[in-house]
Amino acid sequence: MQQVKLVADMLDANSQLAGQNRKLFEERGILSVNLMGCPGSGKTALLERTIEKLGKSYGIAVILGDIFTTRDADRISSLGVQSVQINTRGARNLDAGMVGRAMQKLNLEGVDLLFIENVGNLVCPAEFDLGEDTKAVVASVAGGHDKPAKYPLMFSECRVVILNKLDLLPHVDFDMSRFISDVRKLNPPVQFFPLSARTGEGMDEWVKWLGDRVKNKARQLSFRGF
């Protein structure tokens, strides 16, 4: 029972910090996206391609979570956008406090869109509110069609499911109908984007969806008079 209370206290403290992050995003009109997925699903490659398509139209910043190394941040920085690498050194997910501290290292003036690339994991990240507008999970055809059934919390909590690496479909045993069916059973209104970050197939639909939400966030800010 003591362990249950400790977990509950930790999540409660995280929720309070998430609220502070959310307030900052609202005050600045920043659309924030928590990008989750298992290692190898192509989260960083998706970010690179998305930045290439949206970077000329919007101010973009990225917070990246990994257990060790700055390799992902180095890749993102090479595209000319601000990035901060969080090394969790064993922790299997980012929390709201980590994100809040990372934002202090960013110049948020002119930032319209903030990506938070979470630690590669399909379990823990779904439990932690970061204050984000949108939770998005990246799966890949190479990872198998059974992920929604095996990790229901992740696919239930997210607003967006991105199925990456469509270019590998001819080479893997992946049941698209089963994957989609399992996702829809868990989360009927979820936005679904099948694509390939490598070839660009399907990227336009994902980028348009994001762009529309960035514009909507800006309109909300203008309406409130900030």
Walk me through the domains of the chain, giving residue ranges and CATH numbers.
Answer: 2-212 (3.40.50.300)
Q: With DSSP H G I counted as helix, E B as strand and the rest as coil, what are the percentages for the chain, rounded to 5?
A: 50, 20, 35
Quote the Cα angle for 61-65-71, to 5°: 85
Q: What is the mean pLDDT of residues 72-94?
A: 95
Does residue 56 surpass a pLDDT of 80? yes
Q: Are the beta carbons of 35 and 118 closer than 8 angstroms?
A: yes
Does residue 9 surpass a pLDDT of 80? no
pLDDT band at 222 (very low <50, low <70, confident <90, very high): confident
Q: Helix 2-28 crosses helix 96-103 at what angle (to 10 degrees)?
A: 30
Q: What is the mean pLDDT of residues 169-190?
A: 98
Chain Cα centroid distance, residue 112: 15
- The Cα 221–Cα 226 span in angstroms is 6
Q: DSSP string of 148-191?
A: HHH-HHHHHH-SEEEEE-GGGGGGS---HHHHHHHHHHH-TT-E
Q: What is the mean pLDDT of residues 148-171?
A: 98
Burial degree of 89 (CB within 10 A; 0-12, 13-18, 19+): exposed
Does residue 163 surpass a pLDDT of 70? yes
Q: Phi first, then psi: what are they for 62, rounded to 5°? A: -135, 135
Choose the weakest-confidence range: 3-7, 103-107, 132-136.
3-7
Tokens of 21: 């992050």
In terms of DSSP H, where are the helices of 30-163? 43-54, 71-77, 96-103, 147-150, 152-157
Q: What is the mean pLDDT of residues 95-123?
A: 97
pLDDT of residue 103: 97
pLDDT of residue 220: 85
pLDDT of residue 22: 98
pLDDT of residue 2: 56
Does residue 7 surpass a pLDDT of 80? no
Residue 193 identity (one-letter amino acid): F
